[in-house]
Amino acid sequence: MSVDIAGFAMLQISNTVGPALIASWLCWLAGVASSPLHAQAAGVVPVNIYGDGNPLNGIEDNREQFGEKHGNADPSMNAGTVHCDGKFRGTAMVVDSREFAEGLKGVVLLSAAHVFYDLKKKRLFRRCEFRFMGWEDKSSYRSRINLRNVRMGDFSPRQETATSGFGEGDWAFLYLRKPWKKFNPEQSLRVRNFSFAQTESYQQSGGEFRLLAFDSTAGVISKSRNCTVVESVAGDLGGGRWKGQLLDDCDSADGASGGGIIAVLNGQQYLIGIRSGSHWSEATYPADMYPSGPPDGSVWDRRSNTNFGRAIDQRLLGELGRFIQSHNE
């Protein structure tokens, strides 16, 4: 199985675990992922666009692009991009803090911990900033992120991705002291603990899963709709090795790391998970034939080709509550 921490640079590579090191690429690519069970050659990591496996009917893509240049700005899409030491890193979500502390003056963000690490040098970046709904320098709002005041899981850039706990600690909470103009907390995402034992009944009652994340191909925040989101179990690529590992087929492009896995019911959006990366089986997609991993339009299958993320659970809700309250004193 190959594990790719996806979406923290415009171009990425998978790092070979074994004798073949990819030193020449590492000098200018921002991200490194690893292949724990099989050696894998260098290649550009593909965007995660799933289809029915038949290229004749086109590549299916359930993403909706939003923003002023598309003429359909969506006020509920409170998200933005993270940039560290001059590198584009991924997505951060704006969460509703009012359930944890009334009257908070700043803005709380949620993202993936690996977004803030230089995985080549195996350390935190020195300087990071958040750009609301933006990517380029012309973003209307930019704010420095105080990396000394970030609450993260136990993700380590030195940890082996083959370990059973990989991804469980890949979460981060951040605080911005001053919001942007016209900030409306009503449009922030409410964070919820979702029970995946009730997924079928949830969808039968009209519920829908989405991914809200930056799309580097279009240069805007986008929504992927009508996703399949399941909790990993023994026998799939996640192996059910830790509680709360989510597998999903939400179409996405580079930049999706830290994006929000969303549950929607009766028009209300709830943030239930954090996108981390992607898994694929090298038995199905051997490196000599697929050096960049599964091609666009490949079938989503939890046993051979899937994205993965970290579910919001009671532990994270407790951590988030304490983090928010510490900024409301």
Cα separation values, 245 from 191, 255, 300, Å: 17, 20, 17
Residue among 63, 69, 94, 64 nearest 80 (CA): 94
Percent with pLDDT over 90 in the chain: 49
Percent with pLDDT over 70 in the chain: 78
Residue 298, both tokens: 């490949």
Amino acid at 201: S
Residue 329, both tokens: 């004193």
Q: Looking at 1-15, 29-43, 102-116, 268-282, which range is the least confident one?
A: 29-43
Residue 217 above 90 pLDDT? no
Residue bearing the bigger pLDDT, 11 or 225: 225
Pairing of strands 305-311, 245-248: antiparallel
For 260-272, write each residue's pLDDT tens digit: 999 998 888 999 9
Task: Name residue, tokens 């009257």.
Answer: 103
Pairing of strands 2-4, 268-280: antiparallel
Residue 47 above 80 pLDDT? no
What's residue 3's pLDDT? 64
Decide: 3 and 35 in contact? Cβ < 8 Å.
yes
Name the pLDDT band for 24 (thresholds 50, 70, 90). Answer: very low
The span from the CA of 214 to the CA of 219, in Å, is 7
Name the pLDDT band for 19 (thresholds 50, 70, 90). Answer: very low
What's residue 160's pLDDT? 64
Phi, psi dihedrals of residue 124, rounded to the nearest 5°:
-65, 150
Average pLDDT over residues 287-300: 90
Decide: 312 and 112 in contact? Cβ < 8 Å.
no
What's residue 115's pLDDT? 94
The span from the CA of 88 to the CA of 231, in Å, is 29
Name the pLDDT band for 75 (thresholds 50, 70, 90). Answer: low
The span from the CA of 205 to the CA of 202, in Å, is 5
What's residue 11's pLDDT? 29
**Which 3 state secondary structure label does DSSP give 61?**
coil
For 159-208, write each residue's pLDDT tens digit: 765 454 578 999 999 999 999 888 888 889 999 998 888 888 888 888 99
What's residue 28's pLDDT? 28
Cα separation values, 44 from 13, 33, 166, 194, Å: 5, 11, 22, 34
- For all residues of the chain together, what is the average pLDDT? 80
What's residue 32's pLDDT? 29
Domain boundaries, the chain: 2-326
The span from the CA of 251 to the CA of 18, in Å, is 31
The span from the CA of 103 to the CA of 100, in Å, is 10
Average pLDDT over residues 94-109: 93
